[in-house]
């Protein structure tokens, strides 16, 4: 029943955490325990009626990626994890972070959201974070296209570090985290560059071309 399915997912999650986050402890487990966990992983448990359902956020991102000719699928399963949007040709996972993945009235992730991201990175996936407060501010479809292209390029290629700390200010901007701060600054640079051709930030050259305008 539902209790058996919930217990099965918890055990699979424990095995996944040990394999990818605590490999040393997993290697010293007895062989019979490893075999039991492996059989548990291969066991098929009937899904409950209240399974994961796609959100409007996820469907919108998937449709835009399809229009960008990036093959993707939603709600793909890898063991106990269910991906929001997963690319088919690359190990790129798009995380559509809704309000449920943050504490109330804050930018701080919940423990499950942070563990989920650590697991995806440990499994070899490139994680592209899209947050609900960012997406809701991008009203125009063209801007959303640019944002997706920029976020994907930054995740796959760009490894530059920025020292600019003037984005937004306050505790909220600092609590976003390093993984999203650079992407926010790239969007900030892109918007400012469109308004002023003479805009300059230390570490960038004058006449900087926004990443979304580059051909790749």
Beta bridge partners of 94: 85, 128
Residues 6+ positions from 171 with CB-CB distance below 8 Å: none
Give pLDDT tens digits for 113-125: 999 999 999 999 9
The β-bridge relationship of strands 126-131 and 92-97 is parallel
Please tell me whether the overall predicted TM-score, pTM, comes out greater than 0.85 for this model: no
Beta bridge partners of 130: 96
Quick one: what percent of the chain has pLDDT higher than 90? 37
Residues 6+ positions from 1 with CB-CB distance below 8 Å: none
Give pLDDT tens digits for 49-80: 556 678 899 999 999 999 999 999 999 988 88
Give pLDDT tens digits for 137-157: 888 888 889 889 888 988 887
Give pLDDT tens digits for 151-201: 898 888 755 433 333 333 333 333 344 444 445 555 554 555 455 444 444
């Amino acid at each position: 029943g539902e209790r058996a399915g919930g217990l099965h997912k918890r055990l699979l999650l424990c095995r996944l955490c040990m394999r990818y986050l605590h490999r040393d402890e997993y290697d010293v487990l007895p062989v019979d325990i490893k075999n039991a966990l492996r059989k548990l992983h291969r066991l098929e448990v009937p899904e409950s009626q209240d399974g994961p359902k796609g959100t409007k956020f996820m469907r919108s991102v998937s449709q835009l990626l399809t229009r960008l000719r990036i093959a993707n699928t939603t709600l793909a399963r890898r063991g106990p994890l269910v991906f929001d949007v997963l690319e088919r040709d690359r190990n790129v996972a798009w995380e559509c972070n809704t309000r449920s993945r943050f504490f109330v009235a804050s930018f701080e992730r919940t423990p499950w959201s942070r563990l989920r991201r650590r697991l995806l990175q440990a499994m070899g996936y490139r994680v592209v974070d899209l947050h609900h407060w960012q997406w809701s501010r991008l009203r125009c479809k063209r801007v959303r296209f640019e944002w997706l292209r920029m976020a994907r390029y930054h995740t796959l290629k760009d490894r530059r570090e920025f020292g600019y700390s003037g984005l937004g200010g306050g505790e909220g901007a600092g609590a976003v985290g390093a993984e999203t701060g650079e992407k926010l600054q790239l969007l900030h640079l892109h918007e400012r560059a469109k308004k002023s051709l003479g805009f300059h930030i230390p570490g960038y050259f004058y006449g900087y071309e926004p990443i979304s305008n580059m051909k790749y």
